[in-house]
Amino acid sequence: MMIDIFNSKNNEDEKFIKNNVQEKLKIEPTPKIIPTPEATITPTPTVIPTPTPEPPSIGGKAMAYISNIHNIKPSDLKLFKYERKKWPSYAMGCPEPGKYYAQAETSGWSLHFIERNNKEYIVHTDENGTNIIECKKNLSENTVNIVKILNLSKTEEIILKRLKENIYFELETLKDKNKISPIIQYLDIDVIGIKNTHEECVFLMELEFITKTSTQKVKIICTDGSNFMKISNKNLQDEIFEIPVQLVNHLGKYASQVPFPGIPEKPDSN
């Protein structure tokens, strides 16, 4: 009996010692190491150079054009620069003053020729070489735009007048934007002013452009058939300007209501 009690006591002491030791020697778990991912190297893209377009086959036409205009031997001209182009109108970036060009996208070439004396010529042409225009440098410095000078873009009415017996009388008043717009469009171009040496010019028509704040007068078409105009601007009183034939033709349907001076009226069939 005493032996059992003693053994039981020893077992309890051993349990107490073990528990006590485990509490003191409690081992923390080893932290899990997360490996650092290797950096990904992005390859540098290979730069592909933009190919230079081949010299256009219409270069010969353009060279002949310059040769004929300036009386230069083709052998004295050299094409040294060329590039593809897209322009918003048939003017191909080189509008000739006094001409109206339809607004239609046109693709083609800009060609730079140089003469032996180092004089440069710039030519713009469409893809087929059907239309060829020489671009003259600094030409725009001598031009004016009538629409901008007179602020005609805000026109609300146009009174068309026709000369008869030395008096301008009213033909028609245009208030419809669809009728006003074409006239403004034909005038919205660069024109070159020249000294008014046409003192004998009697203008057949007078156009009054009416806005909310002003009235501007433009006289057009000489009795001798010259396509000139004169504007009511004190700074440009001594100058006249060439107008596009498209405007003359457009206004012809109004002016034809009255016969031109010197032309007999059509006899009444009745």
All structural domains of the chain, each given as residue ranges with its CATH number in brackets, are: 59-137 (3.10.450), 145-255 (3.30.1490)
Residue 263 pLDDT: 43
- How is residue 246 written in tokens? 């498209």
Q: Are strands 77-87 and 106-115 parallel, antiparallel or unpaired?
A: antiparallel
Question: Distance between CA atoms of 95 and 190, rounded to whole angstroms?
Answer: 8
Question: Distance between CA atoms of 72 and 65, rounded to whole angstroms?
Answer: 10
CA distances to 31, 100, 141, 143, 146 from 194, rounded to whole Å, are 94, 18, 14, 10, 14
Q: What angle do helix axes 177-187 and 245-255 make, rounded to 10 degrees?
A: 140
Query: How many residues make up the chain in this entry?
Result: 270
Q: pLDDT for 120-158, tens place per residue? A: 999 999 988 888 988 875 455 567 888 998 999 999 999
Residue 145 pLDDT: 87
Confidence of residue 242 (pLDDT cuts 50, 70, 90): confident
Question: Which pairs with CB-CB distance under 8 Å and at least 24 residues apart come from 210-213?
Answer: 210/155, 210/156, 210/157, 210/158, 210/159, 211/151, 211/152, 211/154, 211/155, 211/156, 212/154, 212/156
Q: pLDDT for 44-94, tens place per residue? A: 665 555 555 565 688 889 999 999 989 999 899 999 889 998 888 888 888
